Amino acid sequence: MESVATALHRLGELAESRHISRLARSFAAAGHELALVGGPVRDAFLGRPVNDFDFTTSATPDEILAIVAPIADAHWDIGRAFGTIGARFGGDTVEITTYRTDAYDGETRKPVVEFGDSLEGDLVRRDFTVNAMALRLPELVLVDPSGGMDDLLARRLTTPGTPEVSFGDDPLRMMRAARFTSQLGFTVDDGTRAAMTALADRLPIVSVERMSDELSKLLLTDDPVPGLRLLVDTGLAQIVLPELPALRLEVDEHAHHKDVYEHSLTVLTQAIDLEKARPGIESPDLTLRIAALLHDIGKPQTRRIEGGGVVTFHHHDVVGAKLAAKRLKQLRFDKETIAAVAKLIELHLRFFGYSEGVWTDSAVRRYVRDAGDQLERLHILTRADVTTRNVRKADRLSFAYDDLEERIAAIAEAEGIAAVRPDLDGEQIMALLGLKPGPEVGAAYRYLLEVRLDEGPLGPDVAEERLRAWWAARSTGE
């Protein structure tokens, strides 16, 4: 936590270096107030990087445009109906919004946009006190009407007014509290937490897209687990991601299995650690993190207690893949992400057969073929899925996966396994067999692919010989 003087000095330096001082002088010359507001001010005091620049002003949208247009490199008014004008100065993008005092009808999240007449009035309508501080420009005077500085020092999240009113106005703020818990490492105060629990059933008035976006932002933080726990404990996860609290299966003292909920959070944490450490994958990786969190969501539906109190979850990988795809579709995730997450969940158990006996080269090729472009993520998810406290078992699994990766690399170097294709393509198959495009070409292609997976590269001459023999046998019904 920076001192007030240090943070103000840092903000002052940013103002000079980021073209902000010119903007502030232009507003002052036109007789209007301007203040840097919210996240940038908060982050300056926390010693975090300041990248976004949001301003609030006494000027109307038309007046903002008149001031900004002559001095900005570019400007746009897509948010004009809500009082927001965007502009670009050098490499910095800024948003400038007229003071607001929005009113809500209590039935939807859509506010009746009303412009305000004071900075203090604008600040008290914001989500949390730590985001309700502003820096008047060009004077560099801190404005903190709701005690945000005290809450920053206490690393505490609370609302400027009563949380019941704040969350009633915009229920998404409850999910935002979970995100800030992870992003900032803060704790939600008791009253605010109680209001989140009491008002959780208000969340559905928020659009699915906004809930999905907030969930994604939470998962992309350095440590999403505290925020996810808050969503589950307050009942919010039951609305936005019910498969997560469903993992809290009752643990019978006579039925032996891991706590699936805690295991899933641990896998997520371990996947993030591996994601950051391994080359060849961008961090943060939302697809990987969703797959890690949801990889076992098929377990509640497949849970069976066998003889001797042994708990089984047969086919939870397949069931979980379907459940994840359904939920992500409902949350409006894109098709590419949905397909990737489903594939990772469906394949996440495949490796454990390798640890029980050495795979043939054919099995290794099929593992790579089935993973496709998700292979690197599958490596991480599979390693992260080992949460046993038995050091010997954990080491054995780790060494086995090291061996599998080394074999994949060796076969890839020798055979080009990264893109497993038959030795003959569709055009060549049609030419050799005198076929037109259709199902028979697909069948021939799949036959050659199976041969390629079983035996490795054959070369075009041998592949042609095998194809003709297969076609002859197929034609005679042998």
What CA–CA distance (Å, rounded) separates 327 from 122?
A: 37
User: The dihedral of CA 15, 19, 21, 26: what is its sign?
Assistant: negative
Q: Which of 449, 451, 409, 450 is nearest to 426 (CA)?
A: 449
Mutual angle of helices 208-219 and 225-234, in 10-degree steps: 140
Residues 316-331 pLDDT 10s? 999 999 999 999 999 9
pLDDT beyond 80 at 108:
no
Asked if residues 47 and 2 have their Cβ atoms less than 8 Å apart, the reply is yes
Higher pLDDT, 251 or 390: 390
Record: fold of 155-240: Hydrophobic Seed Protein (1.10.110)
In this structure, the number of other CB atoms found within 10 A of the CB of residue 145 comes to: 17
Q: Identify the burial level of 390 via C-beta atoms within 10 angstroms of its C-beta, where 0-12 means exposed, 13-18 middle and 19 or more buried.
A: exposed
Instruction: Determine if residue 343 is left, alpha or beta; phi over 0 gives left, psi from -120 to 50 gives alpha, anything else beta.
Output: alpha
Residue-level pLDDT at 115: 84
Instruction: State percent of the chain over pLDDT 70.
Output: 92
CA contacts within 13 A on the Cβ side of 36: 29
Write down the pTM of the prediction. Answer: 0.85
User: Confidence class of residue 255 from pLDDT cuts 50, 70 and 90?
Assistant: very low
DSSP character at residue 232: H
Predicted confidence at residue 111, as pLDDT, reads: 58
pLDDT of 25 > 60? The answer is yes
Q: Is the pLDDT of residue 314 over 70?
A: yes
Q: Which of 117-121, 396-400, 463-467 has the highest mean pLDDT?
A: 117-121
The structural architecture, per CATH, of the domain 1-148 is 2-Layer Sandwich (3.30)
Phi-psi label, residue 309: left if phi above 0, alpha if psi -120 to 50, beta otherwise: left
Stronger pLDDT, 168 or 230, i.e. the higher one: 230
How far is C-alpha 226 from the geometric centre of its chain's CA atoms? 15
pLDDT, tens only, 68-87: 999 999 999 888 888 899 99
Please identify which residue in the block is written with the tokens 């046998």.
473
| Residue ranges of domains in the chain | 1-148, 155-240, 271-419, 426-476
Query: What pLDDT sits at residue 20?
Result: 82
pLDDT at 159 over 70: yes
Mean pLDDT of the chain: 88
